[in-house]
Amino acid sequence: MSLADQVEYGAAPLRLGVSLEFSAFAAGLDYSDLPDEVVHACRRGVLDWLGCAIAGSRHPTIARLLAGLDVLGSLDRVPAIGQGRRLGILEGALANGQMGHVLDFDDTHMEGVVLHASSPVLAALFAAAETDVFDGRSLIVAYALAFEAGVRTGKASPAHHDGGWHLTGTLGSIAAGVACGRLLGLDAQQMVHALGMAATQAAGMQQNRGTMCKSFQAGKAASNGVLAAFLAREGFDSSEEIIEGRRGFSRIFSTVSRPEAMLAGLGTDWHVLRNGYKPYACGIVLHPMIDGVIALRDFGVKPEEVAALEVTVHPQTVRITGVTDPQTGLQSKFSVYHSAAVAYLDGNAGLPQYSDRRATASDVVTLRGKVRVATDERLRNDEAHAVVVDTSGGRHEVHVDHASGTRANPMSDAQLEAKFLLNARPVLGEARAAQLARTVWALDRLADVRQILALAAAPEDLP
């Protein structure tokens, strides 16, 4: 009798560890168990991620990744987004995952666990889905579960982020492994092994912020997750206490361990519902400040009349984005100074505002020298205060209670689709981008999810 059978039929009361109990839940969940709002959150997540990856496909970092993969060689199985070509299963997961995160424009989970789940998870799922026929509902169940696996592991390891790890790499690997395991239909025993194998590959260092490695870590997490699931299906094993064990993930990746967080509210409290989408192409911690600075423009103080831009943010914002004088587009995403300056100058903080050119533009450099940053621990991390001081000493203030894109102030479906189309059109063209959006909004009725990457892969000028 398999473990799944024992759990399902409960012949005797079992005392399972949290890794096993979580895995039994993941293996047993049915599409019909998902509330409608969870299904819809999954549609939104897929659409937003695709847009980010399509826009990201043109980033120079991706060209270098593909050049390296070409020397190593790979099969032609997974459509590489925006490239009009295919890669092997593991390489496709890697490349598409890095594309999704390379612009720092992809989704961010809120409320304590700063995880960009979709880049590792969806890159992994769409790569795994090239091995067989999987319908949209299978993908939705797997995707929803990924948030449970990734965020709950983060909550089980509450000091994980402060420890210096890049959660999109570490938790992303675990989320991708569980998601792929679910897509492949693993039983509970196989699932706990996929979880264990994904965790044992979990990696990614915050030290690499502002380098090509940050988004690479998202791609690598996708590839790790795929490998974990396919090996688990072949009977590859791992520890069955990978989260809670004496040297389990929650013990060694965090100085505080709360493995019970794997199970609390499981099946009723759905973490995909707290997934945030970014109106701005930078770290989510900057968004409330950017909302505030953009709003300051309404006071009509011209940039040359600005004596100071004073912004007050949660201390975490400065810890993560304290770069004072960025020299590249990548670095500028980690600069609260740059972000305030471009928000004031351009009234936006989209992809053009984080280009290499804009990072060193003279108007930006001048204004960011006038940005003063204060921190206040009483602020929530989606809250900020912004003041523009004009050269005659006048002060104009804005307070942002909840950043746009957060759960309390979410992007509407129409705003999300508009963001998607802005991201996708330059690569796919108008018609294909629109067709892709329609396909994703109807994801739960899609018979074969391979249609999605097929649409996302081909640039406009290819057949």
User: Is residue 186 a contact residue for its own copies (CB under 8 A)?
Assistant: no
Residues near 98 by beta carbon (within 8 Å), at least 6 away in sequence: 56, 61, 62, 65, 119, 215, 216, 218, 219
Binding mask 278-297 for its own copies (x = CB under 8 A): --------------------
User: Is residue 422 a contact residue for its own copies (CB under 8 A)?
Assistant: no
User: Is residue 85 a contact residue for its own copies (CB under 8 A)?
Assistant: no
Q: What is the dihedral of CA 264, 315, 49, 339, to 10 degrees?
A: 170
The count of chain residues that interact with its own copies, using the rule CB under 8 A, is: 58
Q: Measured from the CB of residue 214, what is the shortest distance to its own copies in angstroms?
A: 9
Among 42, 90, 340, 443, contact with its own copies (rule: CB under 8 A):
90
User: Is residue 158 a contact residue for its own copies (CB under 8 A)?
Assistant: no
Among 75, 133, 159, 408, contact with its own copies (rule: CB under 8 A):
75
Among 10, 13, 235, 463, contact with its own copies (rule: CB under 8 A):
235
Among 27, 43, 48, 61, contact with its own copies (rule: CB under 8 A):
61
Q: Which helix (H) or strand (E) holds 437?
A: helix 430-441
Among 28, 158, 212, 360, contact with its own copies (rule: CB under 8 A):
212
Burial of 399 (0-12, 13-18, 19+ CB in 10 A): middle
Identify the three-state secondary structure at position 172.
helix
Kindly give the interhelix angle for 118-128 and 167-183, rounded to the nearest 10 degrees: 30
Among 103, 174, 197, 455, contact with its own copies (rule: CB under 8 A):
197
The tokens describing 380, both together, are: 């929530």
Q: Which is nearer to its own copies, 181 or 276 (CB)?
A: 181
Q: What is the distance, to the nearest Å, from the Cα of residue 263 to the centroid of all Cα atoms in its chain?
A: 23
Identify the three-state secondary structure at position 364.
helix
Q: Measured from the CB of residue 379, what is the shortest distance to its own copies in angstroms?
A: 24
> For 399, phi and psi rounded to 5 degrees?
-115, 130
Burial of 212 (0-12, 13-18, 19+ CB in 10 A): middle
User: Is residue 449 a contact residue for its own copies (CB under 8 A)?
Assistant: no
Residues near 143 by beta carbon (within 8 Å), at least 6 away in sequence: 42, 45, 46, 121, 122, 125, 179, 272
Q: Which helix (H) or strand (E) holds 164?
A: none
Candidate ranges 111-119, 240-248, 361-369, 385-393; the one touching its own copies (CB under 8 A): 240-248
User: Is residue 208 a contact residue for its own copies (CB under 8 A)?
Assistant: yes
Among 84, 158, 245, 429, contact with its own copies (rule: CB under 8 A):
245
Among 29, 41, 65, 176, contact with its own copies (rule: CB under 8 A):
65
Among 2, 33, 35, 64, contact with its own copies (rule: CB under 8 A):
64
Q: What is the distance, to the nearest Å, from the Cα of residue 260 to the centroid of all Cα atoms in its chain?
A: 24
Q: Which is nearer to its own copies, 47 or 232 (CB)?
A: 232
- In whole angstroms, give the CA distance from residue 230 to residue 95: 19
User: Is residue 1 a contact residue for its own copies (CB under 8 A)?
Assistant: no
Residues 307-326 that bind its own copies (CB under 8 A): none
User: Is residue 403 a contact residue for its own copies (CB under 8 A)?
Assistant: no
Q: Under a CB-based contact definition with an 8 Å cutoff, are residues 386 and 310 in contact?
A: yes
Nearest to 276 by CA among 154, 406, 171, 147: 406
Kindly give the interhelix angle for 212-233 and 60-72, rounded to the nearest 10 degrees: 40
Q: Measured from the CB of residue 449, what is the shortest distance to its own copies in angstroms?
A: 18
User: Is residue 83 a contact residue for its own copies (CB under 8 A)?
Assistant: no
Nearest to 46 by CA among 112, 111, 121, 102: 121
Q: Measured from the CB of residue 251, what is the shortest distance to its own copies in angstroms?
A: 6
User: Is residue 344 a contact residue for its own copies (CB under 8 A)?
Assistant: no
Q: Which helix (H) or strand (E) holds 430?
A: helix 430-441
Q: Which is nearer to its own copies, 239 or 439 (CB)?
A: 239
Among 10, 71, 377, 378, contact with its own copies (rule: CB under 8 A):
71
User: Is residue 89 a contact residue for its own copies (CB under 8 A)?
Assistant: yes
Instruction: Return the ∠ at Cα 105 (arms to 103 and 107), rounded to 5°.
Output: 135
- Chain residues that interact with its own copies, rule: CB under 8 A: 61, 64-65, 67-68, 71-75, 77, 88-90, 131, 163-166, 169, 196-197, 199-208, 211-213, 216-217, 220, 226-227, 230-231, 233-239, 241-242, 245-249, 251-252
